[in-house]
A = this chain, B = another copy of it.
Amino acid sequence: MPPRSAPDRLLAVLDAFDHDHPALTLTDISRRAGLPLTTAHRLVGALTAWGALERDPSGVYHVGLRLWEVSALAPRGLALRQAALPFLEDLYEATHENVQLAVRDGAEVVYIEWISGRSAVGVRIRVGARWPLHATGVGLALLAHTDPEFQAAYCTGPLPAFTAHTVTDPALLRRMLAEVRRTGCAVSVRQITDDALSVAAPVRGAGGAVAAAVSVVVPADGIQVPALIPAVRLAARGISRRLGWRPA
């Protein structure tokens, strides 16, 4: 392993925590971060004193409240979610289906918010989850509005499949992206799971650039797609206006 700087070692401790490992012992952290136990002990102590980690009575560490407070300042995290929440709630009330808000991070989509109905279709998505852009409605809505060089590189790169329906043909993906730009709406059918489709629309920030995407996920054998498109576009425009966007 190459030598790492002091900041990188501290951040490696935070990297040890993920959705499948939200609670770790000191030994777990040492192993997952690739750090000697004494180093891990010292760094975990500093992070716990600051509040980035919390230790429960059994000696297990969790991510702490102080980190959550700092991260609430992220313009693409909680701040975006706060602006969008009323519109997501209205979209949920209107559809009673899974409603999602996502942003792009490189070649992936990251889910910022997700409202799920008890009767809504099961989805493989959670807050903080990541998927490749081409496989989801929000991802297609975001990818379609990246710069042409990024799109060209993405379309010719590896396009992993999750079902038999995931688009893996670059030419087809390029046509789908052009359609998204033409209609202002992206439809992704059975790409992540065989039983669901999503309808998504881009959210624009004050400067007009696409900052996020909003979507509804419904059973793939439903016939509601045409009816959902106006509702999803309306929610996306509402969030965009709240973020300071004005139509040309």
Contacts and interface: CB of A to CB of B under 8 A. Distances in A.
Contacts of A71: 63, 67-68, 70-71
Most buried by B among A19, A75, A79: A75
Contacts of A70: 14-15, 17, 63, 67, 71
Interface string A108-135: 0010100100000000000110000000
Contact of A46 (B5, B50, B110, B127): B5
Contacts of A77: 63, 65, 67-68
Given A17-B70, A72-B128, A65 B10 contact: no
Given A62-B73, A65-B110, A78 B7 contact: no
A203 interface: no
A103 interface: yes
Interface string A66-97: 11111111111111001001000100000000
A11 B69 CA distance: 13
A185 interface: no
Contacts of A15: 70
A19 B68 CA distance: 13
A66 to B, nearest CB: 8
B5 A127 contact: no
A65 B109 CA distance: 11
Interface residues of A, number: 48
A17 B67 CA distance: 12
Given A71-B71, A73-B18, A74-B68, A8 B46 contact: yes
A22 to B, nearest CB: 5
Contacts of A76: 54, 64-65, 68
A6 interface: yes
A143 interface: no
A224 to B, nearest CB: 23
Interface string A1-41: 00001111011001101110010000000000000000000
A147 interface: no
Interface of A: 5-8, 10-11, 14-15, 17-19, 22, 42-43, 46-47, 50-52, 54, 62-79, 82, 85, 89, 103, 105, 110, 112, 115, 127-128
Closest 6 CB pairs of A and B: A68-B77, A7-B46, A6-B6, A71-B71, A63-B74, A72-B128
